Structure 1
Amino acid sequence: MPSASSRDPSAPHPHPGLSPEATPLGPSDPPSGFVPPTWASELTACEGGWPCPSAWSPSLGVAPASKGKQGKVGTQRCRVWARSPPAPGTDPCVSLQREDRGPRQQLPCPPDALGMASGAPQQNGQTAEETPGFLDTLLRDFPAPLSPESPLPWKVPGPVLTLEEVEGELAEVAMGFLSSRSAPPPLAACLAHEAVSQLLQSDLSEFRKLPEQEEEDGDRGDRAEEKAPVTLLDAAGLARSLFDRLWQACGQWQQQVPAAARAPQRQWLVSAHAIRNARRRMEDRHVCLPAFNLLFGLEDSVDRAYFAVFDGHGGADAARYASVHVHAVAARRPELAADPAEALRAAFRRTDEMFLWKARRERLQSGTTGVCALIAGNTLHVAWLGDSQVLLVRQGQAVKLMEPHRPERQDEKDRIEALGGFVSHMDCWRVNGTLAVSRAIGDVFQKPYVSGEADAASWELTGSEEYLLLACDGFFDVVPHQEVASLVRSRLAGPPGSGLRVAEELVAAARERGSHDNITVVVVFLRDPQDLLEPEPDAPRS
């Protein structure tokens, strides 16, 4: 692979949100065929030496860190796609995210990112124009299905999958692959759905492995489903079959792209930033999925967009798992149309059950808190476990939407003690002297004291709302709710394009106030950021 200095300047950059003339941050190039394999995993060097996430959300909204040489963490740059490509002359880069261990340094924004002055929803025909070119390029690079000896262009999501895990894991793989090749987001979601659904409708018996029955070691619980044999499927075989179906769909759509992939989509400006900070590992994950309906083939009239933050502890496995499966489970819940909040609660519960089975089988001990927001039409639905939080800002005022789950809450303390556990103070309040959160996905050895039951709530959006902010405790432990609006407003008052860096500004504020934890912030603008600087109609003008 040619070095950065010898790269053809006319060739497209592997990540178009970054300037092709910019100097790569690292000298190493990955093996040929490497692509980011997941939506929410760790960092690794991408093509041309750019360190970028090896795990991308469907909107490329993930900012974890990875170990490089000698276990050190490098710098990352990545982007968050809006729901549809931006207007001509602008760039889809709405977030620059950075991971480092040393003192914070200013990360220069690529010139093409600075061109996006605001996040106003825009309709444009760029998706329709880009689609044929993308399909032509992909089919030129992959002129035939992969042979059995050919390496896969993505990382296989583990050795085996349960049937219930297949849709979420393969959708993640497909979206990561397509996004790494700069597929228009609506097209990527439609292609991923087509390939995954075709695979799920086929006979999966060829991928079946012998049913696995866990030994009766006393930690399986009393539920029959936990003691029943579980059919496992070969993940590598599924991934190879997925590529074949993706390749077939691209060939068919080269002649006629389905209307859903060509239709104009609402754009979302999402600013996301995350740092490992002083911790040894990056255990946070976040997801930005504006194309929720397209990815899961939902054809009703309700537009949906999904955003989430997961704050892992004891490792990143639980956070990564939740970032893949919570929304996939929610999309298939029968309550989704009539009661989306309940669908999210059920999705958290089921994801916890799925991960606990995986944790027992693979001897995993991690857990994760989580908060997610599903915007369905004009209604906001949120669900949460633990102390990750979501905040709504309306007319310049922070609106508290939730109460985090902490052991010191009297109702949580009573619940834990009723189950036979205890809450003690050891530098902070902890469940059984260990965990500082009372609800989480995972934590197999702390169940049932650490509950997997989420809380959920819904609010009607009136149009006066300005933005949502989702963040982990590394942010909210040091930045009070009432200071968020002023911090955001001060950043928006900067040069054009400042809305792209709002999350970075908030993360920096938390770090400067003494946070040593992983910090993740996702800001979802519900109005044009430039409009937020204008006084309200009934506000006095100076």
Structure 2
Amino acid sequence: MAAAGEEEGTAAQNWLSAVLRDLAGQPRPQNRSVSRDEAEGELSESVLRLVGGRGGPPWLAACLVRAAVQQTLQADLDSFIEGKHDVVEGPEDDVQTEDLLCFDTLLQRSLTGLQEISSQWQIQLPSAPTTKRNLYVSSHAIRNTRRKMEDRHVSLLEFNQLFGFTDGVERSYFAVFDGHGGLDAANYAATHVHVMVARHEALMFDPARALKEAFGRTDAMFLKRARRERLRSGTTGVCALLEGERLHVAWLGDSQALLVRQGNTVILMEPHKPEREDERDRIESMGGCVTFMGCWRVNGTLAVSRAIGDIDQKPYVSGEGDVSSHTLSGSEDFLVLACDGFYDVVSSSEVPSLVLGHLQENGGDGQHVAERLVAAAKEGGSSDNITVLVIFLRDPAKILEDLANGSGEGEPLFDFGGGGVEVVSDHAG
């Protein structure tokens, strides 16, 4: 064991050396401004993109990003101000002035710190985290027949390391964002929602509230950027936070999450669509309308009733998410997050058989199972962007073994003709 630890330490130090070599050149200029509220998310996204994907330990990359970004943010940010922007807020048209920071300079400062910290950690590495739950993640996304790819997805197994949580509670975050009218809103949500979750004052005692309200806070931030940069795009989203033995799912719009427990699909949420009676009532009470134009649309335009962005359709298209929470028993098999390009053509009851069929064909290897699901949606007639994220809550090989052994009561564990559907929520908001 000691030899294995030393080998891992040497590999981590070699990776730090490679990071230092890669950072020797100047970063590509970003030529943009960010607000103070946006700084952490934008820096973390850019720095993680630079150091991640190089084959090093993901936990070490997350720790390195956090250390470099926090070192930058702890400096006097007034020195990075390059302008101010007037923000109109509230029904009284109250005008607030917002500082805009030069992102190029912020990023340069972070990369300088990154080099310094990498050099220090080559001498003394931080301690590697210990985990009780092993998660296996498969993701796949395609543009399909659309002109642009407007989906984004996020998988953060190293949530605690990225944000410096050391309370012993394991946390992982996953999300799928389905943009429309452009890429900006989906990119923005993929950059900022998890930061809003991590920095929410209620995360430690009410993580469901933190996850839900992260949507509204991100929406408010994006609308400010949309006004100053004349952006018109929007995005739906579904996010999952695994926190200890609890699963919290938050969503707005028609991207969806599905849990499979011993072959049965557990419906975690109801998507926000204009034809829902409560959504129609909400929209019409504010003076909007819901009309049928090929499908039900808000004000004859959008086929979803809640989204981040869509500045021209606010407040009818709400930026407020919903949330549901669930206690995990250990019998859960996997969680699937996907956009409507998948769920519009693949029913919830088909998902277990597709996943288990893939595991059977591949000896319990779930690495490419998301590709199988995406292919099923495309073969089913989807022309939309398709993004699928599969999070195995148990070892896929163990799931396959249980399938072979049956339930222990003479019945198959998975019904390949379409398993049962269970609707469960022990908290909703």
Shared fold, TM over 0.5: yes
Give percent identity, aligned residues only: 53
2:9 aligns with one of 128, 141, 147: 128
- Aligned-pair RMSD on alpha carbons? 2.0
1:392 aligns with one of 238, 259, 274: 259
CA shift, 1:496, in A, is 3.5
Q: What is the aligned partner in structure 2 of residue 408 from structure 1?
A: 275
CA shift, 1:204, in A, is 1.4
Q: What is the aligned partner in structure 2 of residue 318 from structure 1?
A: 185
CA shift, 1:467, in A, is 0.3
1:254 aligns with one of 105, 114, 122: 122
Return the letter of the residue paired with 2:287.
G
Q: What is the aligned partner in structure 2 of residue 101 from structure 1?
A: none
Question: More helix by proportion, 1 or 2?
Answer: 2
CA shift, 1:271, in A, is 0.6
CA distance in 1, matches of 2:356, 2:6: 32
| 1:538 maps to 2:408 | yes
Are the equivalent residues in 2 in contact too, given 1:395–1:536 (CA < 8 A)?
no
**Kindly tell me: are residues 440 and 164 of structure 1, through their superposed partners in 2, closer, same or farther at Cα, counting changes over 3 Å?**
same
5+ residue gaps, structure 1: 1-122, 144-149, 215-219
Are the equivalent residues in 2 in contact too, given 1:474–1:520 (CA < 8 A)?
yes
| 1:425 maps to 2:292 | yes
Are the equivalent residues in 2 in contact too, given 1:226–1:357 (CA < 8 A)?
no
SS in 2 for 1:408: coil
Q: What is the aligned partner in structure 1 of residue 146 from structure 2?
A: 279
Return the letter of the residue paired with 1:467.
F
CA distance in 2, matches of 1:340, 1:127: 34
Q: What is the aligned partner in structure 2 of residue 499 from structure 1?
A: 366
Q: Within 5 A, what are the aligned runs for 1:240-251? A: 240-251=108-119
| 1:459 maps to 2:326 | yes
TM-score by length of 2: 0.91
Q: What is the aligned partner in structure 2 of residue 446 from structure 1?
A: 313
| 1:263 maps to 2:126 | no
CA distance in 2, matches of 1:483, 1:155: 46
Are the equivalent residues in 1 in contact too, given 2:364–2:397 (CA < 8 A)?
no
* Superimposed CA distance per residue, residues 328-382 of structure 1 (whole angstroms, 9 cap, x where no aligned partner): 0110101101111100111100000000010111010000000000000000001
Are the equivalent residues in 1 in contact too, given 2:185–2:309 (CA < 8 A)?
yes
Q: What is the aligned partner in structure 2 of residue 376 from structure 1?
A: 243
CA distance in 1, matches of 2:142, 2:344: 15
CA distance in 2, matches of 1:279, 1:127: 44
**Kindly tell me: are residues 267 and 226 of structure 1, through their superposed partners in 2, closer, same or farther at Cα, counting changes over 3 Å?**
farther
Are the equivalent residues in 1 in contact too, given 2:19–2:51 (CA < 8 A)?
no
Are the equivalent residues in 1 in contact too, given 2:134–2:394 (CA < 8 A)?
no
Q: What is the aligned partner in structure 1 of residue 54 from structure 2?
A: 181
TM-score by length of 1: 0.72
**Kindly tell me: are residues 413 and 126 of structure 1, through their superposed partners in 2, closer, same or farther at Cα, counting changes over 3 Å?**
farther
Are the equivalent residues in 2 in contact too, given 1:391–1:468 (CA < 8 A)?
yes
SS in 1 for 2:351: helix
Q: Within 5 A, what are the aligned runs for 1:347-366? A: 347-366=214-233
Q: What is the aligned partner in structure 2 of residue 199 from structure 1?
A: 72
Question: More strand by proportion, 1 or 2?
Answer: 2
CA distance in 2, matches of 1:231, 1:166: 11
CA distance in 1, matches of 2:198, 2:64: 17
Q: What is the aligned partner in structure 2 of residue 115 from structure 1?
A: none
CA distance in 2, matches of 1:370, 1:272: 16
SS in 2 for 1:254: helix
* Superimposed CA distance per residue, residues 135-165 of structure 1 (whole angstroms, 9 cap, x where no aligned partner): 223334556xxxxxx631x563x51010010
* Superimposed CA distance per residue, residues 486-507 of structure 1 (whole angstroms, 9 cap, x where no aligned partner): 1111110013464111110111
Instruction: Tell me the number of residue pairs that the alignment of Structure 1 and Structure 2 aligns.
Output: 406
Are the equivalent residues in 2 in contact too, given 1:288–1:308 (CA < 8 A)?
yes
CA distance in 1, matches of 2:14, 2:68: 20
CA distance in 1, matches of 2:52, 2:235: 26
SS in 1 for 2:320: coil
